[in-house]
Amino acid sequence: MLSLLRIAVRNVLRHRRRSLITFSAVFLALAIMVGIRGFMNGMQSGMRDSIVKGQTGQLQIHRRGYLKNVAKSSLEMDLPASDEFIQKVTTVPGVTHAAARIQFGGMLNARDSTTVALFTAIDPEQELQVCPLRLDQISSGKPLLHAPVQAGNLSPELAASLGAKLGDKTTLLTNDRDGVLNALEVEVVGTVGARGVPLPDKKVGLVTLSLAQELLRMQGRATEIVVSIRDGERLHEMQRRIQTAIGSDYEVATWLEIVPWLEDAFATQDFGFNLLVGIFLFVALLGVVNTMLMAVYERTREIGTMMSVGVRRRQILALFLLEAAILGLAGGVLGAAAGCACVAYLSHAGVTLKMGGAAMPLTLHPFIQPGYVVFVLLLATAGATLAALWPSLRASRLRPVEALSSL
Amino acid sequence: MLKRIITLFLLASVVLLRVPFAYAGEPTAVELVKHYDEVMSPSTFDSLMTMVAHRQDGTTRSYKFRGLKSGLDKTRVWFFEPAAAKGQEMLRVGDNMWVYMPNLKRSIRIAARESFQGGDFNNGDIMRVNYVADYTPKLVASEDTSAWLLDLTAKTKEATYDRIKLWMSKSKRLPVRAEYYAASGKLLRSAKFDDIKTFRGLERPAHITMRNELATQRYSEITLLDVKTNVEVPPQKFVLDDLGR
């Protein structure tokens, strides 16, 4: 067996040009597979972070039924934002922070034009503990942190529809929790836009929690509590633990439940990607079939000679399969290495992309899971071996006498 | 010849019998809608109303306000109750509506299709009742033989609703009930008009119940406490700068 391997290696090295073709096909396929996967990993992770660390947080607490409610931002379904309630959440082991928010709709007025918009009221300091990427989403001006209470950040679309500029005083009019109209002045201190992911609602704004509580006459109340946890892998376990701690009047939802479309979109992306690289690999392996078949034709006399000196048909078969496997593995290892190098470089340098519909560009850092590299290596080697099966079988079935006499 | 005489006679009888009958009993769609406007929103009137908004959770909120109308397209509203709304005012002039916020001492533009103080009436239901101007009416067959059924289609996008089905009683020519639709054909609200009263010669329903068909536990009721028609209304009451004074 070992001598067979030695002969196989020698054969591969002997037929340089042919080996190079097979090698290149596998090399390219693997480099591209690993490279694109790494890029997609970076993009998906960047988008996920942009949403989870920039908007939803890891877990959210609402009054039971709030998320299913037709009128999504119903203020009647509120919950206490008291220290006592927040402490009930933060004392659950594994919870790092909790921050109160109010989601509400309102009419923003500037220069006698009014636009309906959706607002999120945040406690600027607490919010950064649960959504650290909020600061990263400021596209112009300042965040709400250290800003006066009557300050707001608007999405570029909202600001544009009102013709509002930084420093403008706008008026936010809405119905309070009881339905009575109320209005407060909001100074536009900055504009915000999610990175990479287009917002589901274009006309949105951020205001301070204190302002919203006064506007909506909801002192000490909130519509949601956003919770961050130490270990993101234990999302569902933490969901259950917090649920137990706060009781059944409230419900805890993971970000997966709050933005279910995100992982669905990624799954669709992955399916498309797998299909594409599958076709790519298939074409590369067809190249392997072709070169191996050529090898068998070229080396018919050599096979005849081997058979006539007593080499078994099984061994001939094994020899050709081994040659293909060596080429597959070598091309695979080097291809994957090239792909990994490319991913590592891009990860270090960062790739900045502006995706359609998104307000701001997203800088992503590609990465690759070792498991994926091992998987594609095995796939390439096994694929190359399998592709060589038919040519190798042909070789092993040659009749020695005819093979010797062939040209 | 005989055939022709019979035909003529038949034609004549149809014409002679039909015309006076139509004059006596069947008002046209436009006449009915005009009557609706005259009863529900006379061209000058001063009224005191209460609104009770019934919420999803079963609780209620009460409002008290004065509505003053001048001409066809000018309305002003003053809120007295609850305390949180006291001092707030609304003004409609033509297609424009504003709310005056006493805490900011400023008026903010609002729209006809937005909720009136968080209840189930829209701002337009209170301040823009001019169906002749806003809708094209058509009389359609009614299953209810005691009422006419009018199908109103909005002429302008400023109208409060895209389509309204309005039932008016044959006996008193007063609204009985109505359904309000979005352009998509979705039923948004339905109203019931009852408690017919006479306010200084004006006979009209004094109680309107507006049900929110999108969240059916929600409904709001408006009760007229007093109505004065043909009042003297100074025109400066209907300029933006007068709000809050």
Which residue is closest to A113 within chain B, CA to CA?
A: B109
User: Which three-class secondary structure state does DSSP give residue B94?
Assistant: coil
Which residue is closest to A217 within chain B, CA to CA?
A: B84
Angle in degrees, 0-180, between the axes of helices A389-396 and A313-349, rounded to the nearest 10: 160
Q: Which chain B residues are closer than 8 Å to A112 by Cβ?
A: 109
- At residue B128, the pLDDT reads 87
Q: pLDDT for B117-165, tens place per residue?
A: 988 999 998 888 889 888 999 888 888 888 889 999 999 888 889 999 9
Contact yes or no for B110 and A173 at CB 8 A = yes
Confidence of residue B18 (pLDDT cuts 50, 70, 90): very low
Phi–psi pair at A251, nearest 5 degrees: -135, 145
- The DSSP-derived string for B143-192 is SSTTEEEEEEEESSTTSS-SEEEEEEETTT--EEEEEEE-TTS-EEEEEE
Contact yes or no for A70 and B214 at CB 8 A = yes
- Give the mutation candidate from A73, A112, A114, A180 for the B interface (greatest B CB count, under 10 A): A180
What does the domain layout of chain B look like in residue ranges? 27-242
Q: Which chain A residues are closer than 8 Å to B99 by Cβ?
A: 173, 181, 183
Strand A204-208 relative to strand A113-122, pairing: parallel
Q: What length is written for chain B? A: 245
- The one-character DSSP state at B55 is P
Minimal Cβ distance to A173: which of B56, B84, B99:
B99
Q: Which residue do the tokens 């989870």 mark? A: A52
For residue B15, is pLDDT > 80? Answer: no
Residues of B with CB under 8 A from a CB of A: 53, 55-57, 61, 82, 84-85, 88, 99, 101, 103-104, 106, 108-111, 114-115, 117-119, 214-215
- At residue A387, the pLDDT reads 87
Distance in Å, alpha carbon of B109 to nearest chain A alpha carbon = 6
Q: pLDDT for B167-187, tens place per residue?
A: 999 888 899 999 999 989 999
- At residue B22, the pLDDT reads 42
Q: What percentage of chain B reaches a pLDDT higher than 90?
A: 37
The runs of H, that is alpha helices, within A163-259 are 209-215, 235-246, 255-258
Q: What percentage of chain B reaches a pLDDT higher than 70?
A: 90
Which residues sit opposite A116 in a β-bridge?
A107
Question: Burial code of A250-282, b = ≥16 C-beta within 10 A, e = fewer?
Answer: bbbbbbeebbeebeeebeeeeeeeeeebeebbe
Q: Which chain A residues are closer than 8 Å to B61 by Cβ?
A: 178-180
Task: Pick the closest to residue B65 from B119, B134, B133, B111 (CA basis).
Answer: B119
Distance in Å, alpha carbon of B102 to nearest chain A alpha carbon = 9
Distance in Å, alpha carbon of A147 to nearest chain B alpha carbon = 21
B11: its two tokens: 């034609």
Q: Which chain A residues are closer than 8 Å to B243 by Cβ?
A: none
Report mean pLDDT in 10-residue bins for chain A, 407 residues: 84 86 88 91 89 90 82 76 91 92 91 87 92 87 86 89 89 90 92 74 89 93 93 90 91 91 90 89 85 84 87 89 89 93 91 74 88 91 88 85 77
Distance in Å, alpha carbon of B118 to nearest chain A alpha carbon = 4
> Is A84 touching B (CB cutoff 8 A)?
no
Q: Distance between CA atoms of B125 and B132, rounded to whole angstroms?
A: 14
- Give the mutation candidate from A63, A169, A181 for the B interface (greatest B CB count, under 10 A): A181
Q: Distance between CA atoms of A225 and A246, rounded to whole angstroms?
A: 12
For residue B228, is pLDDT > 80? Answer: yes
- The DSSP-derived string for B184-220 is TS-EEEEEEEEEEEEETTEEEEEEEEEEESSSTT-EE
Contact yes or no for A179 and B111 at CB 8 A = no
What does pTM read for this prediction? Answer: 0.78
> Is A72 touching B (CB cutoff 8 A)?
no
- At residue A157, the pLDDT reads 87
Q: pLDDT for B186-208, tens place per residue?
A: 999 999 999 989 888 888 999 99
- At residue A306, the pLDDT reads 87
Contact yes or no for A181 and B118 at CB 8 A = yes
- At residue B7, the pLDDT reads 58
What's the number of CA atoms in the CB half-sphere (13 Å) around residue B191? 24
Give the CATH fold of the B27-242 domain: outer membrane lipoprotein receptor (LolB), chain A (2.50.20)
- Give the mutation candidate from B55, B59, B109 for the A interface (greatest A CB count, under 10 A): B109
- The one-character DSSP state at A360 is B
Distance in Å, alpha carbon of B189 to nearest chain A alpha carbon = 16
- At residue B52, the pLDDT reads 95
For residue B19, is pLDDT > 50? Answer: no
- Cβ contact A193:A360 at 8 Å: yes
Contact yes or no for A76 and B85 at CB 8 A = no
Q: Which chain B residues are closer than 8 Å to A176 by Cβ?
A: 84, 118
Q: Distance between CA atoms of A95 and A58, rounded to whole angstroms?
A: 10
- At residue B23, the pLDDT reads 45
Structural domains of chain A sorted by starting position, each given as residue range(s) with its CATH number in brackets = 2-51+262-405 (no CATH), 68-77+98-225 (2.40.70)
Q: Which chain B residues are closer than 8 Å to A219 by Cβ?
A: none
- At residue B5, the pLDDT reads 56
Our measurement of the distance from residue A115's CA atom to the centroid of its chain's CA atoms, rounded to an integer in Å, reads 34
